[in-house]
Amino acid sequence: MNEPLLSVRDLEVAFPTRRATLTAVDRVSFDIAAGEVLGVVGESGAGKSLTGAAIIGLLEPPGRIVGGEVRLKGRRIDNLAPEEMRKVRGKRIGMVFQDPLTSLNPLYRVGDQIVETIRTHLRVSEAEARERAISLLQEVGIQGARARIDSYPHAFSGGMRQRVVLALALCAEPDLLIADEPTTALDVSIQAQIIALLKRLCRERGTAVMLITHDMGVIAETADRVAVMYAGRIAEIGPVRDVVQKPRHPYTRGLMGAIPTLGAEATRLVQIPGSMPRLSAIPRGCAFNPRCDSAFDRCRIEPPEGMGAGSSKVACWLYAETAEAETAGAETAGARA
Amino acid sequence: MTVAALVEAKDLTRVFDVSKPWLNRVIEGERKAYLKAVTGVSFAIGRRETVALVGESGSGKSTVARMTVGLLSPTAGSVSIDGIDMWASARSAERQQLRRRLQMIFQDPYASLNPRWRVDRIIADPIKAFGLAKDAAEISHRVGELLRLVGLDPADGAKYPHEFSGGQRQRICIARALSSNPEFIVCDEPTSALDVSVQAQILNLMRDLQDRLGLSYLFISHNLAVVRHMATRIGVMYLGRIVELAPASELFAAPRHPYTRLLMDALPDLGMTGRARRPIEGEIPNPIAPPPGCTFHPRCPWAFEPCSADVPQLAGPNGRATACHAVAAGRI
């Protein structure tokens, strides 16, 4: 089995406060293979953005990684010195944020921002970097790139700005792109353009993508695999088809039923009672148990681990027996990996 | 339609003056600039009916909502509730009576509640303003009733808005809107700021309340899937005009206008796993200088000669109207 491009093991992110330490990301583990698109989906407060920020080393203090490890091509990157991390960030891992206006400096021309990024990470001359920037802008679909390279960010529309940000994230040819809600601020018709562009660029370059979003529709059509997060933990992870069409975790099932779809005219949406717990009051055992209609005693005591063999894992005690039956096979597969 | 509609909007038009200040205009030699946010929008909403307006940002849907509820005066056209014209009616008492019968729910439940007021005072405000209760005891009884109606506890009235989550705040907004016993509620993106599981709770609540209280809704949203779930009829807006108006089931089964077709193709949906969608080319044009003729023609793959010359009118048989030359000519 090939080594994954990115391997996250038991990642824990905590925020120390005066009263207690809040665990915002709790023992999260997943892999991303080269060229793969992993969707990370969850509601606000589920810890999906923090997971992304922890991987790329952009956690806002006082938040910090308190456990686990992150490996990029086998090399640990979660304990690098800030200077070392700067070289990884941008060069090996690119990042796209939700709001394209805040990720571009309004006082610099977009061309200068791209040229600066290229020259930080690659040894090329000023003129060469500029040529590269122009061809990149053309590639992300900006018409008249040669003329527009000297414009300021405010002269671009929201969709065009997100294209520039995408060019900026990909200009040093990173192995992994972390896209945090890249289309949330955009209109649907523009959103479709950006998603199609993101997919094409990453396929052409073999760039792996970690796509963080709350929009299950975007995940369904973009991702190869999807991880569903709830209260800082991964509830379910697996191939996108399985998770969308045959969700196993009660939370995922509720979430899928809660989304109004174009296909069927449902009279009533599935309703999950209550809301996501606060970080200061995460219930004992499975974090979802107070809202779960199939919870039993074990759920209230012991937090479930990811269960199931192969590519699909679900953190739910309902599947404990099937998991134990499969354990023998999974163990040997795990040992080989 | 045989039964008289509860709400009727006729040829609503709103123009905003977006000119630079007078001195700048004189020095820079610029003319006055106008933005036509809404042009000739007409629709009717029957009792217990939900009409939805859907469109991208800048399509004018919120402006229509504000004009319908009376927060913004139309430049031309009229809105009438139960046959009474909202803006022409001379007597202010009549207008105030009219206002009691319509209410609004806003997008952002964080911005639309006064953070310094307790919840019971927020909900009681319309009751006091319209003099719907005799004394304090009756008011507090009514507030408790309303809180229970939207799935909150009457004891929650003593709390401040910041103590509630986004979904609960939207419930408070709904309770406030219901406090004047309205017949018609304008909902401007009521669930856009909420998570999907909370959105499902609010949408279900709104449908239950409609059944129980016989409400009519004008539902504004950018999300076609939400609109499909809520509306009986849907108007698709593009750059200030309704380009297609149709019963929800028919619109989704067979969209006619090119923009509606492309919008549905572009929409990410759970059923679309692995399927590529077809993005609409280009962007919404600048509304200050919209393209001539049909405003959608620069992005439209079916555009032909008349599209860039004449503005297509909304027309079509029995409640299924489309504003498109190509559809009228039978080309698509």
Domains of chain A with CATH codes: 6-259 (3.40.50.300), 305-337 (no CATH)
* Superfamily of B7-101+182-328 according to CATH: P-loop containing nucleotide triphosphate hydrolases (3.40.50.300)
pLDDT digits (tens, 9 = 90+) for B38-80: 999 999 999 999 999 999 888 899 999 999 998 899 999 999 8
What is residue B144's three-state secondary structure? Answer: helix
- Tokens at residue A334, please? 């795990």
For helices B258-266 and A188-205, the axis angle rounded to 10 degrees is: 50
Q: Is the pLDDT of residue B187 over 80?
A: yes
Residues 6+ apart with CB under 8 A from B229: A260, A265, A266, A269, B203
Q: Is the pLDDT of residue B90 over 80?
A: no
Instruction: Please tell me which of the candidates A188, A217, A276 has its beta carbon nearest to residue B270.
Output: A217
Interchain CB distance below 8 Å, B203 and A216 = no
Interchain CB distance below 8 Å, B229 and A192 = no
Q: Is the pLDDT of residue B278 over 50?
A: yes
- The predicted model gives B181-191 an average pLDDT of 93
Measured between CB atoms, does A185 come within 8 Å of chain B?
A: no
pLDDT digits (tens, 9 = 90+) for A31-44: 999 999 999 999 88
Q: Which of B153, B273, B277, B278 should we substitute to test contact with A (largest number of A Cβ atoms within 10 Å)?
A: B273
- The predicted model gives A43-69 an average pLDDT of 90
What is residue B118's three-state secondary structure? Answer: coil
| Residue percentage of chain A with pLDDT more than 70 | 92
Contact at 8 Å (CB) between A50 and A59? yes
pLDDT band at B1 (very low <50, low <70, confident <90, very high): very low
Chain A closest CA to B38's CA: distance in Å? 19
Interchain CB distance below 8 Å, B197 and A216 = no
Q: What is the pLDDT of residue A226?
A: 94
Bridging pattern class, strands A313-314 and A233-239: antiparallel
What is residue B218's three-state secondary structure? Answer: strand
| Residue percentage of chain B with pLDDT more than 90 | 55
- The predicted model gives A180-185 an average pLDDT of 87
Q: What is the pLDDT of residue B134?
A: 87
- Tokens at residue B110, please? 């964080």
Average pLDDT of every residue of chain A: 87
- The predicted model gives A280-302 an average pLDDT of 89
pLDDT band at B276 (very low <50, low <70, confident <90, very high): low
What pTM does this model have? Answer: 0.84
Q: Where are the domains of chain B?
A: 7-101+182-328
Q: Is the pLDDT of residue B83 over 60?
A: yes
B214 phi-psi bin (left φ>0, alpha ψ -120 to 50, beta other) = left
pLDDT band at B323 (very low <50, low <70, confident <90, very high): very high
Fill in the DSSP letter of residue B305: G
Q: What is the pLDDT of residue B281?
A: 79
Instruction: Please tell me which of the candidates A196, A254, A259 has its beta carbon nearest to residue B270.
Output: A259
Report the range of poorest mean pLDDT among A148-162, B92-106, B269-283. Answer: B269-283
Residues of B in contact with A263 (CB under 8 A): 269-271
pLDDT band at A17 (very low <50, low <70, confident <90, very high): confident
Q: What is the pLDDT of residue A310?
A: 67
Interchain CB distance below 8 Å, B228 and A265 = yes
pLDDT band at B259 (very low <50, low <70, confident <90, very high): very high
Fill in the DSSP letter of residue B216: E
Average pLDDT of every residue of chain B: 88
Maximum alpha-carbon separation in chain A: 67
Q: Which residue has the higher pLDDT, B57 or B279?
A: B57
- The predicted model gives B268-278 an average pLDDT of 63
Measured between CB atoms, does A252 come within 8 Å of chain B?
A: no
Interchain CB distance below 8 Å, B275 and A221 = yes
